[in-house]
Chains A and B, each alone.
Chain A
Amino acid sequence: MRVLAVDDDTQFLEIFRDALQKVGQFHVTSVESGAAALQILSDPLEQGFDLIFLDILMPQMDGVQLCGRIRRLPGYGQTPILMLTAAQGRKWIYSAFDAGANDYISKPLDELELETRIDNARRLLAWNAQTINGPEAEYASDVSIYTCLAGVQGLLDTVSLHNFVLQMSRFDLLFLSSLAITFPSFPVVRWSVGVSTFRRLLLEHTSAIRDACATDNAMIGYVEDGTFIVVGELPRGLDAIRLRRRLEVRLAAKAQCCPNDIATSEEFEILSGKRFTMMGARSAYDTLLELEKSAQAICAGVKRTG
């Protein structure tokens, strides 16, 4: 198993390598900075790593930033990333999970904990392989996604999402209504179980929301940072293409990027440009408010002209 360890403390790296050798058979590469890690991970001559350990508190580029950048590297979307953190660093663990980390190990180093976390990472690796390769395993992992969601705020957001759409359907609203909602732990779920499985979950949600709306006109999209966008009944005179374009322009304005950086697919899935991905939950909530206001304005306009 090939392991990459990144820590600015060379003494810790030595101890860590030693501990890894006691726990199992590892080919360990260690580097002392985020820049060096990115260089080695981007090197086409490198054979790739099965497991990555990142210290959180490092100068120049901290472990959380590095984790996010590794996730965007080709071939490292699913590789287990474990954060190394002293007790004080635990408050950064949550942002590390958001950036795509899978687990963490506390400092001072405990060999038993190290072994347990590595076993966990191995299971995750095997699970990811099954998820990618087998439809049955993928279905099984879907169930696990719900379990994951049960422990995080994301589930509450999903419930809010359903309630919102149910209320819409009760009042038989014949106008455009749009909603953006954020999954703060979306990256954790996404990186833990894989994109394909998560998209399947998304489709299931889409279907459930459509059923709740009792219409085929509800559309749902999501942004890479975990923002869901739901659009209800379309008003007359505004087709889906125009609507999508309008949303792209609005989202681009919000994210301060070019509308062309945000592309929409046939399924109305919004694939975000790099800058848009950087939007935080607060920005997504602002987007929700803005979209709702625009929806109400459009509705009022349609009613007047209709």
Chain B
Amino acid sequence: MSRVLSEVRSRFLAEAQIKLVEISAAAPEELARVDGSHRDNPLFVYAHRVSGVAQTLGFDGLGARARHLEDQLECFFIASKPNGFPNLELDDFLEELAYAISSN
């Protein structure tokens, strides 16, 4: 692994720890809040970022969870909320995030 990749990986994990606490502590209505475009929703933004970068950093499972969460959030925000807020996908994502932090 290159030095740059290793450094980014460390920062990614440090940020993940903060995000894990933030997201876990947030109320559902806060997570589902959209001001303007759903693309500005903090949870969606974070899931999108993780899905773009996690696998490159070697967190394959987390990348897959993030992509799934991002998909489900998009369905929730755009497609008239057919299945409600994706709590299950969020839990899976947080579990994988915690696993990534603890095992590195």
- Band of interface residues on A: 10 to 19
Chain A contacts for B54, CB-based, 8 A: 108
Q: Which residues of A contact B57 (CB under 8 A)?
A: 15
The answer on a CB contact under 8 Å between A88 and B70 is yes
B34 beta carbon closer than 8 Å to chain A: no
- Name the residue in B4, B52, B53, B70 with the highest tally of chain A Cβ atoms < 10 Å from its Cβ: B52
Contact of A107 with B51 in the complex, beta carbons under 8 Å: yes
A-side contacts of B8, CB under 8 Å:
11, 14-15
Chain A nearest CB, measured from B104 CB (Å):
15
Bound complex: CA A173 to CA B86 (Å): 61
B76 at the interface (CB under 8 A from A): no
Partner of B53 from the list A11, A18, A59 (CB cut-off 8 Å) is: A11
A15 engages B56 (CB within 8 Å): yes
Taken residue by residue from 18 to 32, chain A's Cβ proximity to chain B (1 for < 8 Å, 0 otherwise) reads as: 100010000000000
Contacts of B55 in A (CB 8 A): 107-108
CB-CB under 8 A from A11, the residues of chain B are 8, 11-12, 49, 53
Is B65 positioned at the interface, with any CB of A under 8 Å from its CB?
no
Chain A residues proximal to chain B, CB less than 8 Å: 9, 11-12, 14-15, 17-18, 22, 55, 57, 59, 62, 84, 86-88, 107-109
Q: B residues touching A (Cβ–Cβ < 8 Å)?
A: 2, 4-5, 7-8, 11-12, 39-40, 45, 48-49, 51-57, 63, 67, 70-71, 74
